[in-house]
Structure 1
Amino acid sequence: MRTIFRKKRGAPRFEYQRSVHHFMYTLIVASFLSCGAANVAMATDKQPFTVRDALQTTRFMVADQHAKSIALSPDDEHYAAMLIRGSVARGGVEAEIIAGGLGSLEAAKPYTVARLFTRGLGATILGNGAAPDLLLPTLNFPVWIDNERVAFLWEDDKGVHQVAYANIKTKRWGFLTASDNDVTWFAAGPRSTLVYETKRKYSLGRSNQMFQHGFTVTNQEAYSLLIGAVDGATAQEIAWGAREWFVQRSASTPFHATEVSAADRGVNYYPYAWLERPVVSPDGRMAVVSGTVRAIPQPWNRYEGRLLRQYVQSSAHKSISSEPSPIQEFFLVSIDKATARPLWNAPLPFGTAISWSPDSHSIIAWPVYLPLDSHDKDGMAGNAVAQIDVSTGKYQKLPIPGVDAKEIEGVLWPDANTIEIELDDEHVKRMMLQKHAGQWVQIDGAHLVHPETRIRVDLHQDANTPPALYAVDARTGQEEMVFDPNPDLRTNFTLGKVKFIQWKDDLGYTREGRLFLPVHYQPNHRYPLVIQSASGDRHEDFSLYGRGAPGATLGPGGPVYLAQPLANQGIVVLEIGTPPAGYPSSEADARMRGYTSAIKYLYSIGLIDCARVGIVGFSRNGWHVEYALAFSGFPFAAAIADDNIDSGYFEAAMMGWADRERRDGSEPFGAGLKDWLEHAPTFNVEHIRAPLLLMVTDSFAGKAAPLAMQWEMFSRLRHLNKPVELYVIPNIERGDHHPQNPTQLLALQERTMDWWLYWLKDERDPDKLKRQQYAAWDRLRILRDQDAKLPAPPYLQWTAAPKRCTGGKSC
């Protein structure tokens, strides 16, 4: 017996043989059996792990894509870290600054320096006070000011984000700035020098006057009009704020800050800096930061990198010259003069880091694009390591392979002509380079001069072991756990076994994913499956939600990825990452082939029931999910798309046609409209049969957020009597793309859990307050069943051929 699913236009054809298994599949099933038996034995006397339990766990704030969690003091005698945990009872998020010594294993046990609290709500409609920016991974890693104080961002009693400090000796904390507007990033230097960026407040005052007297629309994107901004300000400027830079020479009160005059600098609206951390020079006179320019040089289109090229190309078509671009570059800030200028002529790849030379004359930067005149392979791909003279912008590439450039964790300078590089490796690999005759050359690693601290402190974890802080004595090799942020995860709760699996898709490419087995897994039983579509992550990280770092792996997270809570409900979860580099199909099609081939593989090894497969995507991945629903031909039992783009015509029009070619191949005008009609999920909703839950969490358009985010997909499905629901989280005007408030997260995640249990297991929460929810879903079930009786509509091939009138002439 076999079940066959087909899809039009060359998509994969599935043929599942129930009776035939390859030998290796038998081995895999046996492996699952042993893991499942172990899970059952360990589950005795433990309680099921729930959504509520997950958001109240504790995670470490991480610094970067390497998941660095510990900040070492300048003298290497202490460490500090920030902890984040949700509190349902308090309706917010608790943060904690901890510290410990590095002189002995006993001293390494951490103590609390400061306790902080925020409700964790998103920004107001005018873009102020986004608490998730204080809580999300990589956005607020503590920085040492001196050997006693660490600095970080926190909100004051007015909800304005300021630079705060915590003293590890006095255990006191306070603020170093008194800005009227949110501080978005900062760098600290000698003598309490600060360089920081703030959002500029936006007012609807001028727009309100224009409404009274009449006006001509100048905004090309409509999102700003939804909130009443008609004065030309874009939605990006309103939601994220136009930015201003300041320098502050002393931390003494009253605070005195000077605004930086930045030459050739446009609006820096991108919410995450492409430079990991701005850094002040050792002499305290300069800082290197990242910022945008108004006019992106078109020759930058020659650099490699899909997103970079698309942003450069789209900048050439912008009809509003003041509309900013997310592409950033290095700026050199003079702290003495309060001025800034571009450092050199090259864009930044995401996640660049820098280290100043001891004499403050140059920086080492990695990974970076080099100026186009270099004609260097690594430099064109954004994988170079370079020394840049800050006074002239002249540079020299270091002899470090591009593959290593992305793995550099830090650069140390024994002197101005010697550097020691630490690479992110399982055993921490180091290399040393010296300058000879003006050229950098690698020398024998045996001469490494950086002294090891006696005690090394770091997080130890793996995919099945929750993170804990360990201290290792470098002299004796003795190791000791000094802090477990989540002891209940090891002792009180059941958790599903995690495996990393690989399979081949229909084009022969190897795909991989993180598989969560049900807690009480039993062999010879087929389980429901939820596919979570996400980006790549670190395999070595433990995660309750699916992804490893730099995503939120514990604490307030998700937002709709619920791997371990689902595993506790008898559901298999597969987190699928990005396709291999150079995949020969469009972005959404490549993701779809990963989903469908994974289903085929998991069915072939006897693990899943193909009649009970759900799929979920958040943000950009929500578009990938909707594409799979429209074009895969696979009968998904249910689906969720959360706070996502949909690649639709309405969305493109609302955005002023920005990003218009990236998703559907061409502009939606003239002949280009053919591609949109054939490839946009919103133009192909008649092929969607699965019940679809659309969710909105972002507050950038206030109460109009549902209209801005999901309307085209929702309205077209609703018009065709398809089973669709559009859900908006509580207090949407203080929502966020990455919600952190426990009340909002509980509403979002518990509805997600209810949705999966209803459609995949036919189970209902007995809570009387949810009767209306299930009554609505029962009506969707009727619509689903009615839709299933209708014949599948054909996929249409559109034409862009010129129309002919009578007599053979073009109309």
Structure 2
Amino acid sequence: MADDIAMRRISSPLAEPSVPGSEVAWPSPNGRFVAIVTTRGMLETDLVESQVMVFDLRDVSNFLSTPTMSSPKARVIASVQSYPHHIEMNAYAPVIKDVRWSSDSALVFFRAENMHGNYQLCTAGVTSTKLVYLTPPNRSVNHFDVIGRTVVFNAGDPATHLIDPGQSLNRDAVDLTGARLQEILFPDDLASREPALFHIYVLNVDRKGQPIRLVPHYSLLDIPVLSALYPFNASPTAQTLVDLEPAQSVPGIWNTYAPAPGAEQLRLTDTSDPRRLRADNILRPLEYTLIDLKTGTEKALLRAPNARNLGYTADRNRIAWSPDGKQVVVTNTFLPVASGDSDASDGHPCGAAVVDIASLKPSCLYFEDGKSRSDSPRLQDIAYGKRANEINVLLRTSIGGQLIRTYIFRNTGWDLLSTASVEISRNGLEGGIDDAQSAKDSLKLFVRQGLNEPPTIWASDNHGHERELWNPNPQLHQMQFGQASLYQWKDKDDRAWSGILIKPVNYTPGVRYPLVIQLYSYNAGEFVTDGLYPTAFAARHLADAGFVVLQIKKQPDTVSEQDPQIHLEAYVSAIETLSNDGLVDRKRVGVVGFSLTCWYAINALIKMPSLFAAATIADGLDNSYMQYMLFAVEFYPLQKQMDKVRGHSPVGNSLRQWTDVAPGFNLDRIRTPVRIEAIGPPSVLQEWELYSSLRLQQKPVDLIYFPSGTHIHQRPLERLESQQGNVDWFRFWLKGEEDSDPAKRARYEQWEAMKTQASR
């Protein structure tokens, strides 16, 4: 476990599953340098360290052309030690993010998270190791763009309780009507997750001593962890900005926009509901917005929602300015109803819309067909070509290839000029690359890894030379790993399932091993350690302890009671298939539920009490009555989701359906020992119904609390307890083994007492 936490992971370039080319590190504008970010956990300090490393491509070129030459060393130009304080979408989140080059290739800009949890804008020179902080430590930068030596960024005010927990009536009384429970009981916890009040600033790096200029009359209340995912691009003159922001209103006509197949629940029907526009609503509709950086005035670039709000998640949101700043192209958006060609759009989104800045008149390069077929090419990036009337669209195909479509403006509209195949996994539109030919002529650094192959940095050129440049974890070559492979099977309804199967170290054919099933998803092209996330998942660690582990990819959500039943069939069929293959002992099977899949795991424990011999439930939603009453009040997305699952709120005649199927009313059926992980104060309430019921019934249950943790564990000691704790839990209940560490003696005595109580 300690080796896994200390493993140096490549944070940038970050390979995204199913996105060819996402693992390529692009050179600086002058083509001389490449910057890479690595991150590792440090158990001794409970911190995370991220570093920016720069390779000189002249040395890399010589290395490729000279087989006897040793690999050149990278220069570490910045190192930051802190830890991710906030909710992160990715495992192993770095504390250095969003690396950008200056136009003259002399500087690298990035955001660095400090010990207060704020992101400071920083810069470092490629020939020095001096880290310069451009913004103060009490403000958190969420976005930035670099135009020459001018930096445009937005930053949140110091943390305050921006959502008032109640109206003071006098010094002894507060009116809490309309407040959420978290706001009342855990204001400090909520402050780290609630919306922040953002302002936009402009900074010139060359003008030392000049104050940072605040863009007047502009502010935005938004959720940092979500808004950081959206594009933020200044014009070539740094006078105007386009970003993706929450819509100020939702016109009734927006209900005509067609959701993606299977996402009808996202249709913008209840446009008059004021909760839809609340700053804490994670489903708040977004629209591309134009901001004047002199006056702070803003207006909708397109008075239409971003298509991602309606379930179109396969295409990426991108913004690209024309070289003269007179046009901007934005992706994955609907067009205003009055502007859209109804015959062409039919209510479906525009893949890429070109907007004239002076008139705000849009035109669409192409419309989506609304079918969202898995074999349709999906937009990855967009950029203007060498001429102002050309736009290049980079698309990824279902078979892992890439296409560049070039559109040209002729007379009154945009026409498709050409479509070119691009070399797989080595190209993109970022870093100044704007056509297929220039991509092929570039020297590239890229990440190579596989299920059983730890990530390494490789270099290649257009002469066919390719060599390993740097191995960040040479110590892993001295270790044995349980072999991982893709595993596929079908359930009784002929539904196809897939997962990553990890066999024990020194696996012996014919021996039936205990099995642990982890269900959420997997990344087939990445080196597997925990399985997907470090919260409760511990795939290779369990394999090292003599388990077979199956990391299953869940089916798409239907947001109905069918979801837990469908996944119950996944559990049953996987166990049966692996047992028939002679790999596992079906009487010694454990399950891990994390986040949404806790619902699936708890349902299985209730519906088939003898299926699992041990279980872990980690920081999850189970759509129970108690969770509804505690958290759906004033939290619009959760209320809408749970109402759709059951068809109705748990009131009146509808309450009978809840008592029949909601997990909390059926916990008497559970016989499996359950380990519960609660992360943060609200999570304790979230898991208390399960814990208290099992505890009152004197059934084996363990409750582990992480007071300051995040949903996806990031700090080394939190990872250590979550993952090692689960290894110990499953060893005890599935193998009858105990760790000899004296520090764990009290825990084992508690579990032994549980086992004795359960056997009576």
Preserved contact between residue 354 and residue 365 of structure 2 (Cα < 8 Å): yes
1:217-272 alpha-carbon deviations (Å, 9 max, x no partner):
1343211111358xxxxx86663332312121323335423145459x6x312622
Q: Could you say which residue in structure 2 is the equivalent of 1:214? A: 173
Aligned AA for 1:461? Q
Q: Could you tell me which of 214, 220, 243 is aligned with 1:289? A: 243
Q: Could you say which residue in structure 2 is the equivalent of 1:325? A: 281
Preserved contact between residue 195 and residue 279 of structure 2 (Cα < 8 Å): no
Pick closer, same or farther for the CA change 1:228–1:274 going to 2, 3 Å: closer
What is the 5 A alignment of 1:566-605?
566-579=542-555, 586-605=562-581
Q: Could you tell me which of 418, 433, 436 is aligned with 1:443? A: 418
Aligned AA for 1:162? Q
Alpha-carbon offset, residue 571 of structure 1: 0.9
Q: Could you say which residue in structure 2 is the equivalent of 1:94? A: 49
Preserved contact between residue 70 and residue 80 of structure 1 (Cα < 8 Å): yes
Aligned AA for 1:520? N
Pick closer, same or farther for the CA change 1:470–1:238 going to 2, 3 Å: closer
1:43-77 alpha-carbon deviations (Å, 9 max, x no partner):
xxxxxxxx111111011114574354624323333
Preserved contact between residue 258 and residue 338 of structure 1 (Cα < 8 Å): no
Report the structure, 1 or 2, having the larger strand content.
Answer: 2
Alpha-carbon offset, residue 280 of structure 1: 1.8
Alpha-carbon offset, residue 189 of structure 1: 2.4
Matches of 1:275 and 1:670, distance apart in 2: 41
Q: Report whether the alignment pairs 1:112 with 2:112.
A: no
What is the 5 A alignment of 1:424-463?
424=396, 426=400, 428-437=402-411, 438-443=413-418, 445=420, 448-450=436-438, 452-463=440-451
Q: Could you say which residue in structure 1 is the equivalent of 2:122? A: 164
Q: Report whether the alignment pairs 1:140 with 2:116.
A: no
Q: Report whether the alignment pairs 1:508 with 2:487.
A: no
Q: Could you say which residue in structure 1 is the equivalent of 2:693? A: 716
Pick closer, same or farther for the CA change 1:506–1:169 going to 2, 3 Å: same
Q: Report whether the alignment pairs 1:389 with 2:356.
A: yes
Alpha-carbon offset, residue 211 of structure 1: 7.7
Pick closer, same or farther for the CA change 1:413–1:300 going to 2, 3 Å: same
Matches of 2:96 and 2:342, distance apart in 1: 34
Question: When the two structures are aligned, how many residues end up with a matched partner?
Answer: 703
Matches of 1:655 and 1:583, distance apart in 2: 18
Q: Report whether the alignment pairs 1:361 with 2:346.
A: no
What is the 5 A alignment of 1:388-787?
388-399=355-366, 406-424=378-396, 426=400, 428-437=402-411, 438-443=413-418, 445=420, 448-450=436-438, 452-474=440-462, 476-489=463-476, 491-535=477-521, 537-547=522-532, 558-579=534-555, 586-632=562-608, 634-657=610-633, 658=635, 659-663=638-642, 664-665=645-646, 666-698=648-680, 704-729=681-706, 732=707, 734-786=708-760
Q: Could you say which residue in structure 1 is the equivalent of 2:424? A: none
Match of 1:72, SS?
Answer: coil
Alpha-carbon offset, residue 340 of structure 1: 2.7
Q: Identify unmatched segments of 5+ residues in structure 1.
A: 1-50, 124-129, 230-234, 548-556, 699-703, 787-811
TM-score (norm 2): 0.84
Q: Identify unmatched segments of 5+ residues in structure 2.
A: 65-71, 422-434
Pick closer, same or farther for the CA change 1:588–1:245 going to 2, 3 Å: farther
Alpha-carbon offset, residue 542 of structure 1: 1.6
1:140-188 alpha-carbon deviations (Å, 9 max, x no partner):
2312233122222113576532111222122322112226332223222
What is the 5 A alignment of 1:1-400?
51-62=1-12, 65=16, 66=19, 67-68=22-23, 70-103=25-58, 104-106=60-62, 109=72, 111-120=74-83, 122=85, 136=93, 140-146=97-103, 147-156=105-114, 160-178=118-136, 180-199=138-157, 201-203=159-161, 212-227=171-186, 239-251=193-205, 252-259=208-215, 261-262=217-218, 267-269=221-223, 271-273=225-227, 275-293=229-247, 295-297=249-251, 299-301=253-255, 302-305=257-260, 309-310=265-266, 312=268, 322=278, 324-326=280-282, 327=284, 328-344=286-302, 345-349=304-308, 351-371=316-336, 373=340, 384-399=351-366
Preserved contact between residue 490 and residue 573 of structure 2 (Cα < 8 Å): yes
Match of 2:687, SS?
Answer: helix
Identity rate, percent = 23
Match of 1:414, SS?
Answer: coil
TM-score (norm 1): 0.79
Preserved contact between residue 646 and residue 681 of structure 1 (Cα < 8 Å): yes
More moved, 268-277 vs 606-615 = 268-277
Preserved contact between residue 113 and residue 167 of structure 1 (Cα < 8 Å): no
More moved, 564-573 vs 189-198 = 189-198
Matches of 1:643 and 1:53, distance apart in 2: 25
1:461-494 alpha-carbon deviations (Å, 9 max, x no partner):
22221111111121x20111111111222x2111
Match of 2:690, SS?
Answer: helix
Aligned AA for 2:383? V
Preserved contact between residue 162 and residue 175 of structure 1 (Cα < 8 Å): yes
Alpha-carbon offset, residue 133 of structure 1: 9.2
Match of 1:249, SS?
Answer: strand
Alpha-carbon offset, residue 458 of structure 1: 0.7
1:589-633 alpha-carbon deviations (Å, 9 max, x no partner):
333322222222212211111111111122222222222222345
Aligned AA for 1:510? A
Matches of 2:639 and 2:295, distance apart in 1: 42
Aligned AA for 1:356? W
Match of 1:468, SS?
Answer: strand
Matches of 2:501 and 2:102, distance apart in 1: 42
Alpha-carbon offset, residue 755 of structure 1: 0.7
> Which of structures 1 and 2 has the larger relative contact order (alpha carbons within 8 angstroms, sep 6+)?
1
